[in-house]
Amino acid sequence: MRIKLMLALIVMSGAVCAQSSPNVIGSFPAGTGPVPEPWRLIQFDTKIAPTAYQTRVWDGVSAVEASADGSMALLARGVEVDLKATPMLCWRWRVDDVVKNADMNTKAGDDYAARVYVAFKLPSDKIDFGLRLKLQFARNLYGEHVPDAALNYVWDNKNAVGHRQFNAYTDRTQMIVQRSGVAQAGGWVSERVDVLSDVVKAYGSDQAKINLLALASDTDNTKSKAHAGFADLHFVGRDAPCVFPVK
């Protein structure tokens, strides 16, 4: 009996330790400068000026600062995440203002002061022949970074938090309104989302594999300006808390 109890405690201790270790994706260095590898810029259209990104300490938070002026580029990195073990994505972000002329229903209005983009590779049984052709055509036009599927958590100008719809350009990207309006602009806001649940809702597969995570401030369609910050991106278990450094 005593041996069984000891084994049970060891197993429980191991489970607690595993759950208490977040998978850190975006922990940025203090100070102002270029964003270090493995982060890199991705431009789907090189004719559009890229959004500018740099690291900075912003109100005590080591972060990425995004400055957009009629511009668009993802700040992205490849990732490996076991969504079964750590399905919850946590991060902090901030905006100075929303993109006032944005409208996610139209291509002309498809801009966001801040967004967190998660791209997936889908299992082969979720990609039929027609979709395979569509994806190949898109990759021929826009490059190999066009995903099988993607989720975009956005800070929108007017739609209600929780609203979701497919992107005005493609049904391979679902937009999810995580924040809306200016009530919380000007300060850091913490987020926690269930990526596994969201990808199942959008694309019907719990076998989707994350292969890219990106940040963006996006104003190329509305020809406007935006200023945003991102910090402390990490994945945790469903029952584990987010882990944000104390300022």
pLDDT at 109 over 70: yes
Poorest-pLDDT segment among 133-142, 145-154, 207-216: 133-142
CA distance linking residue 9 with residue 13, whole number of Å: 6
CA distance linking residue 114 with residue 111, whole number of Å: 9
What are the structural domain ranges in the chain? Answer: 23-236
For 107-136, b where at least 16 C-beta lie within 10 A, e where not — what string?
eeebbbbbbbbbbbbbeeebeeeeeeebbe
Which tokens hold the place of 31? Answer: 């100070």
Pick the CATH number of 23-236 from 2.40.50.140, 3.30.565.10, 2.60.120.260, 2.60.120.10: 2.60.120.260
- Give the model's confidence band at 246: pLDDT under 50 very low, under 70 low, under 90 confident, else very high: confident
- In this prediction the pTM is 0.87
Residue 96 has a CB neighbour count (10 Å cut-off) of: 15
